[in-house]
Chains A and B, each alone.
Chain A
């Protein structure tokens, strides 16, 4: 008998921690891990609302589940491409710290 609000607050807290990781870390892969954390927070939100709506309607609602499944798929695809980019950038610049990739700067 957990109130819906608890799930939403947990999702908000995880989202803001992930946002902090994206904005404040220097290592590119740590930024990627922050993005993964944000996507997980979104998934908690989606599934909490799916449960709530299914409970209200009395039958399992498919929309929420499909949305969450699509988020899984997108997270996997995005991680693969992002890591390929990071490895390729590492080969060229020999660094993974995003502050040191300043070729296009000024």
Chain B
């Protein structure tokens, strides 16, 4: 096993461990911090996949924006006591369903013959950002989804502000 494989295995265990701790932790702030570790682990996995642009975007968008939003929401919806069960009544059934789906996916993909191809490192001349940038503004490429995505973000922004807006006199 060479260095890259060790890096992958350690990162994978860290990510899965952080995800499990996130799901099972009692205090919400701790869950948010474990989620940050899991997202960081996923970012490192992106780096092993030579998608360095997406690793940085993961850091910037998920950890830098979405996680801050989640932390703010946790602070704003804080209950004084965090007692009470973390998991609802269907926890065991849910665990069974999740394990079943995980097992189905794992075994179907492990049995796929082409899956055994090792992912070699693409060379340093492999610049992925320039084709991505060109495709995102190419009218025969992905310019329309790009514009639609920006309209979607605008709609989400306006919608979120409107939904969470506290109108005067509406506080019960």
Mark B147-164 against chain A: 1 for CB-CB distance below 8 A, else 0. 001001101110111011
Q: Report the nearest A residue to B142, measured CB to CB.
A: A66
**Within the complex, what minimum Cβ distance (angstroms) separates A14 from chain B?**
6
Q: Are B99 and A16 interface neighbours, CB within 8 A?
A: yes
Q: Are A9 and B45 interface neighbours, CB within 8 A?
A: no
Contacts of B49 in A (CB 8 A): 7, 44, 47-48, 50-51
Interface residues of B in 88-102 (CB under 8 A from A): 88, 90-91, 93-95, 97-99, 101-102
**Within the complex, what minimum Cβ distance (angstroms) separates B22 from chain A?**
6
Q: Are A33 and B35 interface neighbours, CB within 8 A?
A: yes
Q: Are B101 and A15 interface neighbours, CB within 8 A?
A: yes
What is the CA–CA distance of A26 and B26 in the complex, to the nearest angstrom?
11
Interface residues of B in 1-29 (CB under 8 A from A): 2, 4-5, 8, 12, 15-16, 19-20, 22-23, 28
Contacts of B124 in A (CB 8 A): none
Contacts of B48 in A (CB 8 A): 2
Q: Are B94 and A23 interface neighbours, CB within 8 A?
A: yes
Contacts of A80 in B (CB 8 A): 69, 156-157, 160
Q: Report the nearest B residue to A65, measured CB to CB.
A: B132
Contact of A12 among B61, B87, B91, B109 (CB under 8 A): B109
Contacts of B131 in A (CB 8 A): 60, 62
Q: Are B105 and A15 interface neighbours, CB within 8 A?
A: yes
**Within the complex, what minimum Cβ distance (angstroms) separates B143 from chain A?**
11
On whether A70 and B145 interact (CB within 8 A), knowing A33-B35, A60-B127, A83-B70, the answer reads: yes
Contacts of A9 in B (CB 8 A): 106, 109-110
Mark A1-40 against chain B: 1 for CB-CB distance below 8 A, else 0. 1111111111011111111110111110110111011001
Q: Are A20 and B23 interface neighbours, CB within 8 A?
A: yes
Q: Report the nearest A residue to B66, measured CB to CB.
A: A79
The answer to whether the Cβ of B139 comes within 8 Å of any Cβ in the partner chain is no
Using CB atoms and an 8 Å cutoff, list the residues of chain A in contact with chain B.
Answer: 1-10, 12-21, 23-27, 29-30, 32-34, 36-37, 40, 43-44, 47-48, 50-52, 54-55, 60, 62, 65-66, 68-70, 72-81, 83-88, 90-92, 95-97, 99
Question: 4 closest A-B pairs (Cβ-Cβ)?
Answer: A16-B102, A23-B94, A77-B156, A12-B105
